[in-house]
Amino acid sequence: MNYLDIDIKNLILSTLNVRKTLTSEEDETGIEDLANDIKNNGLINPITVKKIDGNKYEIIAGQRRYLAMKLLNKESISCHVLNISDQKAEEISLVENVQRNQMTTNDKVRAYSKLYEVYEGDIERVVNAIHISKKTLQKYIKIKDLPEEVLRSLDVSGPSKISLEVAVELTKLPSSINVTEFMTKIQQLSTQQKMDTIKVFNSLKSTDISDVDDIKEEIVINSNNIKLAPSYPYVKDEHDRYIRIPEELYEDIIKLIELKTGTLEYI
């Protein structure tokens, strides 16, 4: 293999990196940890680069290692130099990012969809490269054209968060419907209620987004066979303290509580 110690000033960050949505605090913490590891153990894996103009090299794989070395004020970095096409460089960069880094769901949508393009629609190659199921990969690819505001909801916390399955259902809305506006109308619903509202709206073949309000009200009324079900169930313990039940455990916990105590209350 062709390894060179390259002046750190001659290395250029690639525009191919797909980790776009992590916060700066998370990035900085990870880089600092990596820098400490390199300081103690050395750079075990050289970064991968591609020569471009003059004495400049573009980083294909190893951006975090490069940033960690800069943090340590290193003058040069051991690099694996590849003589490859731009398309091959993009492929390597995408696969390396997926395999090595923790990415948000939004980042995965971007990375998997781009790799699908690089592999010219060969889904089996993508599955083999990133080691996820074909069914899951198809979901990521299906939602890639949703509005950015909606895709960001995959990574938020709280009621506004949507699941991958909800995002897939949103792709089935009529093209005349503003998906972002639709999401705003249902963002306070539970995941299942979001799914049900979208499915009912589609089944009615409606093109009037105002119909969502009536649909979601009916969905909420019918949820769990209780009148106007609240967003979260609570139970009162023997000390008169209210304990909130996590939404994802809603059905199982409620059954247990009702069987054991019969004191379930909603507030």
pLDDT at 256 over 70: no
pLDDT tens across 37-49, in order?
999 999 999 999 9
**pLDDT at position 257, please?**
59
**pLDDT at position 196, please?**
93
| Interatomic CA distance for residues 189 and 220, integer angstroms | 8
**pLDDT at position 21, please?**
46
pLDDT at 202 over 80: yes
**pLDDT at position 239, please?**
56
pLDDT at 227 over 50: no
| Interatomic CA distance for residues 125 and 65, integer angstroms | 27
Residue 173 φ/ψ, nearest 5 degrees: -65, 150
Helix (H) or strand (E) holding 47, with range, is: strand 47-51
> Taking the model in full, what pTM does it have?
0.64
Alpha helices in the chain (DSSP H): 24-41, 63-71, 86-100, 105-118, 123-130, 134-142, 148-152, 164-170, 179-186, 191-203, 211-222, 250-260
**pLDDT at position 250, please?**
61
Instruction: Average the pLDDT over each of 13-22, 69-78, 154-163 and give the range with the smallest value.
Output: 13-22
pLDDT tens across 83-95, in order?
888 888 888 888 8
